[in-house]
């Protein structure tokens, strides 16, 4: 672990989530290896993507960064790294949800459906409907983060649902050390997507965990990404580039 770059790590939350959750996932594991976690609050509404990308530009003016995030936050981190390879010291990517255009990816469909429900019913009623049958820990996370997004929630969900992730061709050019975490029991963020990202990127590895583990220990997801970023996990030969396209 000591060979992971000594740089501040900026972690971005996923769709409809917030900085409280991403901090719970990453701050402790990063502190254990002596790295600072910076977890900015999501920009409001339809500025979600452009606001985060602009903030990364501003923070990188002070020096190279490790960048990463969860789900849509991971997509934005990789997008920023493609534009700024000389300012990105490493990537910590948890639960990437698609590559290229979102198409019919489960996470995109879910975000659009949630946005429609919020617009039609309001946040409180939409929450009540959305958490039926959901694990209590996830229901609690959604209740807090959706309310904190407030009136901008539906717009931010739509931004994330429609925003392309890096294509496979772009991921092949992303020659930056990357640790990717996947949950094998997550139907919204299929582990196969994370495996495809890892197989396509020149210096990436994936470590798998579960949503069940995440429910009892938020930091389990962050530890998986950090373990994957460890030099002992990164591939020493060029991986197979025959990854499937969506």
SS (H, E, C) the chain: CCCCCCCCEEEECCCCCCHHHHHHHHHHHHHHCCCCEECCCCCCHHHHHHHHHHHHHHHHCCCCEEEEEECHHHHHHHHHHHHCHHHEEEEEEECCCCCCCCCCCHHHHHHHHHHHHHHHHCHHHHHHHHCCCCCHHHHHHHHHHHHHHHHHHHHHHHHHHHCCCCCHHHHHCCCCCEEEEEECCCCCCCHHHHHHHHHHCCCEEEEEECHHHHHHCCHHHHHHHHHHHCCCCCCCCCCCCCCCCC
Question: Is the confidence at residue 1, as pLDDT, over 50?
Answer: no
- The structure's pTM equals 0.92
In the numeric block, the tokens 């992730």 are attached to 165
Residue 239 confidence (pLDDT) = 35
Residue 232 confidence (pLDDT) = 63
Is 211:175 a contact under the CB 8 Å cutoff?
A: no
Token digits of residue 167:
């294509």
Binned at pLDDT 50, 70 and 90, residue 5 comes out as confident
Question: Is the confidence at residue 23, as pLDDT, over 50?
Answer: yes
Average pLDDT, the chain: 93
Binned at pLDDT 50, 70 and 90, residue 242 comes out as very low
Domain coordinates in residue numbering, the chain:
9-99+165-229, 106-159
Reported as a single tens digit per residue, the pLDDT across 128-174 is 999 999 999 999 999 999 999 999 999 999 999 999 999 999 999 99
| CATH superfamily membership of 9-99+165-229 | Alpha/Beta hydrolase fold, catalytic domain (3.40.50.1820)
Reported as a single tens digit per residue, the pLDDT across 93-131 is 999 999 999 999 999 999 999 999 999 999 999 999 999
What phi, psi does 94 have (nearest 5°)?
A: -110, 130
| Strand ranges across the sheet with 9-12 | 37-38, 9-12, 65-70, 88-94, 178-183, 204-209
Question: Is the confidence at residue 244, as pLDDT, over 90?
Answer: no
Reported as a single tens digit per residue, the pLDDT across 60-83 is 999 999 999 999 999 999 999 999
């Amino acid at each position: 672990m000591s060979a992971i770059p000594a740089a501040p790590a900026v972690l971005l939350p996923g769709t409809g989530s917030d900085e409280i959750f991403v901090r719970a996932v990453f701050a402790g594991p990063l502190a254990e290896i002596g790295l600072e976690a910076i977890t900015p609050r999501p920009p409001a509404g339809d500025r979600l993507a452009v606001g985060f990308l602009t903030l990364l530009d501003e923070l990188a003016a002070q020096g190279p960064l490790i960048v990463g995030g969860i789900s849509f936050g991971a997509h934005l981190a990789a997008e920023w790294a493609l534009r700024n390879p000389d300012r990105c010291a490493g990537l910590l990517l948890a639960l990437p949800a698609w590559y290229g255009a979102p198409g019919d990816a489960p996470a995109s469909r879910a975000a659009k459906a949630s946005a429609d429900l919020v617009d039609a019913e309001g946040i409180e009623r939409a929450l009540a409907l959305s958490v039926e049958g959901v694990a209590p820990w996830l229901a609690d996370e959604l209740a807090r983060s959706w309310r904190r997004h407030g009136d901008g929630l539906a717009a931010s969900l739509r931004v994330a649902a429609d925003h392309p992730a890096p294509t496979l061709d772009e991921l092949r050019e992303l020659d930056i050390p990357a640790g990717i975490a996947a949950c094998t029991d997550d139907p919204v963020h299929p582990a196969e997507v994370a495996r495809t990202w890892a197989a396509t990127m020149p210096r990436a590895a994936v470590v798998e965990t579960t949503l069940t583990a995440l429910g009892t220990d938020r930091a389990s997801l962050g530890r998986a990404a950090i373990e994957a970023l460890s030099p002992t996990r990164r591939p020493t030969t060029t991986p197979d580039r025959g990854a499937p396209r969506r």
